[in-house]
Amino acid sequence: MITRIRKRVHDLLDIGQGDDLLSRIIDFGLIGLITLNVLAIIVESIDSIASSYRPHFDMFELVSVAIFTVEYVTRVWVAIDDADGKYRGHFLGRLRYMASPLALIDLIVILPFYLSFIVGIDLRVLRILRLLRILKLTRYSGAWATFSAVLYGQRRTLYMSGFLMFIMLVLSASLMYVIEHDAQPEAFADIPSAMWWSLVTLTTVGYGDVTPVTVLGKILGGFVTILGLGMYALPAAILASGFMQELSKRQFVVTWGMVAKVPFFA
């Protein structure tokens, strides 16, 4: 009896049960609650509104945390019924689920509320922590699964490009420190200070708070700017290529599934 109830609850909370009306209602209800929470936190940062409607905000927060807590505990309870069998075992299976990224997000969402009763948390810090509830939307987004697959598939190439960018950051900062230190001892007091200029220049942000004044410094600055255009565009190109590959794989799976239904190929 309990096993059947747990399996039914698991199916209700499982994403993608498109034929189950109650499951869809629960999904849309949780998405709506998460969205309202994010909007409430943003509006609550306006002091005039927060002071006028404080009881309403507090009540909404209490109800939201109660619902999110029930959802978290329920997901932990039904985790062992996962269709993939990743969380088999009443105790160890649930522990493995609690260590999964989505479960950790669910825990982080409710943890600040309970910690505020134990330790003093600054209101602004608590508000930022509550904003992490927006991460719960990743559970309902297929795009996040695609993005995660792309990041994992292109991880080695991204590591390489990140390493190259770090080398360029250190080298350009060191050279600029040597060139500009005597002319601007405050702006380029040391290599870490010069790294701020290098980061801003390589990313072509160009705040303009620190600029070279010597001829060699300007030449180096121009070279670093041109190099930065190509260097920091590299991760974007890698991710774009990864997205194309991932979408092609998924399209192939869909197409093959349609072909497999044809009697001649079945």
Pair (229, 249) in one structural domain = yes
Domain count, the chain: 2
160 Ramachandran zone, left/alpha/beta (phi>0; psi -120 to 50): alpha
Domain boundary residue, one of 140, 160, 184 = 140
Pair (190, 223) in one structural domain = yes
Averaged pLDDT, 103-117:
85
Identify the domain containing residue 134 by its residue range: 2-140
Tens digit of each residue's pLDDT (9 = 90 or more) over 51-105: 898 899 889 989 999 999 999 999 988 888 776 777 777 788 888 889 988 888 8
- C-alpha separations of 39 from 29, 33, 61, 140 in Å: 15, 10, 12, 18
Contact between 75 and 13 under an 8 Å Cβ cutoff? The reply is: yes
* CATH code at position 248: 1.10.287.70
Pair (102, 171) in one structural domain = no
Token representation of residue 80: 């062992």
Pair (11, 129) in one structural domain = yes
In which residue are the tokens 């075992």 written? 89
Q: Of 118, 112, 146, 117, which is closest to residue 131 (Cα–Cα)?
A: 112
Pair (146, 266) in one structural domain = yes
Domain boundary residue, one of 83, 108, 140 = 140
Tens digit of each residue's pLDDT (9 = 90 or more) over 163-194: 988 999 999 999 999 999 988 988 898 999 89
Tens digit of each residue's pLDDT (9 = 90 or more) over 22-54: 888 888 898 899 999 989 988 988 888 988 988
Pair (100, 151) in one structural domain = no
Q: Of 175, 255, 261, 162, which is closest to residue 219 (Cα–Cα)?
A: 175
- C-alpha separations of 226 from 214, 219, 221 in Å: 18, 11, 9
Pair (229, 152) in one structural domain = yes
Domain boundary residue, one of 114, 140, 166 = 140
Q: What does pLDDT average to over the chain?
A: 83
Pair (10, 135) in one structural domain = yes
pLDDT at 140: 73
